[in-house]
């Protein structure tokens, strides 16, 4: 079966997480992604290494389905080879610091001269302006994109989220831009520049908090459990802050992840009162409507927790779902990696690797009926030098040997 992006070629100069997360999605969609690495390799091959002398999970879980070549971009011969490569690819992706590729001698204007149909995708920390040249990491993007100031408990410090919204979140935005540029090229015949800033992507994911910042001008945010409001959206712990109140409530036996998140919709209140043994609250004017409950959400969830604390989270899940009440148990990473349904859905998959053996990784989250993704292992460093330089560029064995001995590949 033909893949969605079959025939599309990506020259992948990205490293660490934000860029590789994007190009991995493109690879799963069927693109031929060739990862161009320095002779020493992507730094994450050795970071957080858990198996001696093997690529780390940091690398293997972000670079599946790709091929790998090595190239010294600082050498004249390396620049010459790079020029020939650019002619053969549809997309060039990079996430170096601002101006790094330009300093290598390949400005956007130069790349357009080499390949007018090229789509050049860049991920940076920030957009134009005072932050442009600042270094950015995952949590820096969270800090400056609105996530940290609104995450945590009201009386505690700002907190980072465990989800990699700064890196992988930005990568997903980049995928959208790249695919749009590919589609537009079908009509124009021309490539274009695609840029995504990590700060901007995080802010897009924090859109509802900017909504609430503007709502503050008209009074307190009643959906929040906070008693006092200043001139900025406060941290509100586990409150949803949306139209339907929610909270993480304790379950037995009281371990660190023995919680379930419960949403109380208007239609769900009556069955909840039955479950918790307080049926009289269903018609009590002080409790019967969402408006009546809004001023005492903390008390409402306390009543539910008094009931849930006597039951395991899976039992609570079953009882709530019998009444179609939205809820979800807090799953630990161990529970997730062992979840049979996630394996059956191929979102947690097992992959064999020649150096480290079998490892688990997150599979393709986007399911296409006519282009199913097959997750293959990440490449070894320079594993495909012969395929690309020898077969495609026509370099001889002696040429390859000379390039290797001189540190070009």
pLDDT digits (tens, 9 = 90+) for 203-234: 999 999 999 999 999 999 998 999 899 999 99
Distance from C-alpha of 224 to C-alpha of 227, rounded to nearest angstrom: 8
Mean pLDDT (whole number) for 361-373: 97
Mean pLDDT (whole number) for 74-95: 98
Cβ proximity of 153 and 237 under 8 Å = yes
pLDDT of 185-200, one tens digit each? 999 999 999 999 999 9
147-153 long-range contacts, Cβ below 8 Å, gap at least 24? 147/202, 147/205, 147/206, 149/232, 149/233, 149/235, 150/206, 150/209, 150/233, 150/234, 150/235, 150/236, 151/235, 152/235, 152/237, 153/235, 153/237
CATH 3.30.1540.10 range(s) for the chain read: 246-325
Mean pLDDT (whole number) for 108-136: 97
Mean pLDDT (whole number) for 46-69: 97
Which residue, among 369, 169, 339, 373, has the nearest Cα to 348 in the 3D structure?
339
Residue list for the binding site for substrate: 242-244
pLDDT of 249-293, one tens digit each? 999 999 999 999 999 999 999 999 999 999 999 999 999 999 999
Residue list for the binding site for CoA: 17-18, 71-74, 95-97, 103, 135-138
What's the pLDDT score for residue 394? 96
Which residue, among 167, 186, 236, 180, has the nearest Cα to 208 in the 3D structure?
236
Is the model's pLDDT at 241 over the cut of 90? no
> Among residues of the chain, what percentage have pLDDT more than 70?
100
Of the pLDDT bands very low, low, confident and very high (cuts 50, 70, 90), residue 83 is: very high
Distance from C-alpha of 298 to C-alpha of 133, rounded to nearest angstrom: 44
Say if residue 258 is preceded by a cis peptide, omega within 30 of 0: no
401-406 long-range contacts, Cβ below 8 Å, gap at least 24? 403/77, 406/75, 406/77
Which residue, among 298, 335, 197, 314, has the nearest Cα to 252 in the 3D structure?
314
What's the pLDDT score for residue 111? 98
CATH of 9-204+338-406 among 3.40.50.20, 3.40.640.10, 1.10.150.130, 3.40.50.10540: 3.40.50.10540
Q: Say whether 167 is catalytic.
A: yes
Is the model's pLDDT at 1 over the cut of 90? no
Distance from C-alpha of 14 to C-alpha of 27, rounded to nearest angstrom: 14
Supply φ then ψ for residue 388, to 5 degrees.
-80, -50
What is the rounded radius of gyration, in angstroms, for the C-alpha atoms of the chain?
26
Which residue among the candidates 167, 258, 339, 399 is catalytic per the annotation? Answer: 167
* Domain 246-325 top-level CATH class: alpha beta
Which residue, among 27, 29, 178, has the nearest Cα to 94 in the 3D structure?
178
CATH 3.40.50.10540 range(s) for the chain read: 9-204+338-406
């Amino acid at each position: 079966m033909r893949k969605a992006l079959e025939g599309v070629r990506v020259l992948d100069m990205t490293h660490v997480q934000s860029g590789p997360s994007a190009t991995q999605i493109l690879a799963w969609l069927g693109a031929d992604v060739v990862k161009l690495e320095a002779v020493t390799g992507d730094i994450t091959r050795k970071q957080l290494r858990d198996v001696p002398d093997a690529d780390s999970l940091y690398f293997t879980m972000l670079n599946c389905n790709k091929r790998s070549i090595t190239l010294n971009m600082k050498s004249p011969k390396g620049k010459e080879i790079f020029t020939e490569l650019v002619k053969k690819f549809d997309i060039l992706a990079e996430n170096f610091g601002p101006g790094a590729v330009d300093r290598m001698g390949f400005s956007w204007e130069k790349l357009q001269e080499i390949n007018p149909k090229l789509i050049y995708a860049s991920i940076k920390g920030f957009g134009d302006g005072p932050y442009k040249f600042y270094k950015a990491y995952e949590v820096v993007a969270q800090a400056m994109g609105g996530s940290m100031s609104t995450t945590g408990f009201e009386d505690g410090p700002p907190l980072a989220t465990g989800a990699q919204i700064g890196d992988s979140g930005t990568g997903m935005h980049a995928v959208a831009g790249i695919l749009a540029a590919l589609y537009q090229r079908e009509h124009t015949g021309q490539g274009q520049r695609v840029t995504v800033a990590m700060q901007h992507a995080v802010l897009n994911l924090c859109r509802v908090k900017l909504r609430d910042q503007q709502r503050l001008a008209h009074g307190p945010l009643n959906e929040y459990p906070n008693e006092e409001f200043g001139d900025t959206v406060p941290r509100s712990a586990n409150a949803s802050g949306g139209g339907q109140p929610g909270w993480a409530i304790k379950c037995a036996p009281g371990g660190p992840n023995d919680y379930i998140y419960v949403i109380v919709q208007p239609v769900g209140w009556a069955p909840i009162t039955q479950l918790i043994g307080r049926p009289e609250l269903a018609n009590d004017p002080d409790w019967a409507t969402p408006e009546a409950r809004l001023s005492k959400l903390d008390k409402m969830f306390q009543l539910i927790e008094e009931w849930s604390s006597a039951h395991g989270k899976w039992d609570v899940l079953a009882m709530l779902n019998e009444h179609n009440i939205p809820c979800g148990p807090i799953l630990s990473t161990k529970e997730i990696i062992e979840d049979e349904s996630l394996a059956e859905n191929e979102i947690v998959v097992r992959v064999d690797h020649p150096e480290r053996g079998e490892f688990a990784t997150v599979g393709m989250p986007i399911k296409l009926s006519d282009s199913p993704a097959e997750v293959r292992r990440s490449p070894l460093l320079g594993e495909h030098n012969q395929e690309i330089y020898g077969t495609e560029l026509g370099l001889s064995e002696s040429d390859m040997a000379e390039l290797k001995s001189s540190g070009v590949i």
